Structure 1
Amino acid sequence: MPKMKTRRAAAKRFTATGTGEYKRNKSFKSHILEKKSPKRKRNLRKAAIITSADHRRVRRMLPYA
């Protein structure tokens, strides 16, 4: 049986944690930053864990992560 392919777009966006969850970066941090408060921009820097609803989908896209 051939090897499964990893979806490269997903591999660039998600990383697996040691406990089997997936980390993602937050959106809305690239432009139009003047109207956003410093607190909001600071919180957008932090990584987030994907929701349980998306877990199965991401796991299928990243078979070796």
Structure 2
Amino acid sequence: MPKLKTRKAAAKRFRVTGSGKKIVRRKAYKNHLLNHKSSEQKRRRLSHSTLVSEQDEANVRLMLPYL
């Protein structure tokens, strides 16, 4: 069996939790156009990482075969 290639864009965006069962991602909408967003939204809702949904987890694992 040949080695599988990792999608490098996905490797930079996702990591696995300590147990190895879930995948963690950053939240969107915190890169630019931040002037009209409230401080609370930027600080509380967008700053923290969150888990990838169960529906998308299979696709992420295909992109990252050695995760």
The question of a shared fold, defined as TM-score above 0.5 by the shorter chain, is answered with yes
Counterpart CA distance in 1 for 2:13 and 2:6 is 12
1:35 equivalent in structure 2: 36
Amino acid at match of 2:7: R
* 1:57, distance to aligned residue in structure 2 (A): 0.7
- Alignment: residue pair count: 65
Unaligned runs of 5+ in 1: none
Counterpart CA distance in 2 for 1:3 and 1:15 is 20
Q: What is the TM-score normalised by the length of structure 2?
A: 0.89
Q: 1:53 aligns with which of 52, 55, 61?
A: 55
Amino acid at match of 1:12: K
Q: What is the TM-score normalised by the length of structure 1?
A: 0.91
Instruction: Give the share of equivalent positions with the same residue, in percent.
Output: 48
Asked if 1:24 corresponds to 2:25, the answer is yes
Asked if 1:7 corresponds to 2:27, the answer is no
Counterpart CA distance in 2 for 1:56 and 1:18 is 18
Spell out structure 1 runs of 4+ moving beyond 2 A. Answer: none
Unaligned runs of 5+ in 2: none
Counterpart CA distance in 2 for 1:36 and 1:50 is 24
CA RMSD of aligned residues (A): 0.9
